[in-house]
Structure 1
């Protein structure tokens, strides 16, 4: 049986390393720096982000148990206007952070997780109005072949 993307990546430690590397890349980006350096950012932001990505990519439900579900994520990140350039930058930082964190260089794995991140950014951009986000959206599940 094929492992989940979460398992293939190396589990929770791999996602923690990825979230830290991604955060550093975003801080270094002149446009992404502002939203990633806000003083009101949650002190466990990178850990929560790691748990969210891990859960979506086949890991345990640490994020949804502690922080809510997909609706909460969309409401939190919605309402920022046209941020498509920030979305592209976010994806570039994510892809580069895969190397920084030492995640597998396997082309199929990289294609799958990049496709997830592109989908996730588009999903956030599609929900510009936080008040219009439907309640109770299930956590997305992403596998080797995309959204499940």
Structure 2
């Protein structure tokens, strides 16, 4: 059995460190911080780490106890395109990987950055309105080879 990215990074403790490092960086960024100007849940970083864990081969802690995938996508939808913000969020993530001590293994670093870059675009699928997000989405899974086939439940013809 192949080791998951979740296991390779060190499980939940490492992902919580990464989420904290990323959140600190985005709050300090003049562009990305706008996404948090309305406030955020006090457990945001722990929830984010749990979401990443689920996507990277760990336990399904978010969708079994916090929110469905459709709810998560709705929270990130209806804000119009924001390429600059997305690019800066990815830059913050790349630096957060270093801050969290996860950049020493190039395979792990590259897999994390590839996942986050893809996920940033995925979360922006429904630019027009959160009402466009269908019920029943499932968390897309990410492996060493990229998106796991069949785990991205967005409509393939969505062009918004």
TM-score using structure 2 length: 0.86
Aligned to 2:87: 88
Other structure's SS at 1:126 match: coil
Unpaired stretches in structure 2, ≥5 consecutive residues: 149-160
Alpha-carbon distance between aligned partners in 2 of 1:105 and 1:127, rounded to the nearest angstrom: 35
Aligned to 1:137: 137
Alpha-carbon distance between aligned partners in 2 of 1:13 and 1:145, rounded to the nearest angstrom: 24
For the pair 1:7 / 2:7, whether they are aligned, the reply is yes
The equivalences for 1:115-130 within 5 A come to 115-128=114-127, 129-130=129-130
What is the Cα deviation at residue 64 of structure 1?
1.0
| 1:12-48 Cα shifts (integer Å, max 9, x gaps) | 000110000000000111111232353x311111110
Which structure features the higher share of helix residues? Answer: 1
Unpaired stretches in structure 1, ≥5 consecutive residues: none
Other structure's SS at 2:57 match: coil
Which structure ranks higher in relative contact order (CA pairs < 8 Å, sequence separation ≥ 6)?
1
Q: Runs (4+) of structure 1 moved beyond 4 Å?
A: none
What is the Cα deviation at residue 104 of structure 1?
4.5
TM-score using structure 1 length: 0.93
> Cα RMSD between the aligned structures?
1.3
| 1:81-119 Cα shifts (integer Å, max 9, x gaps) | 121111111111111101101125222222221111111
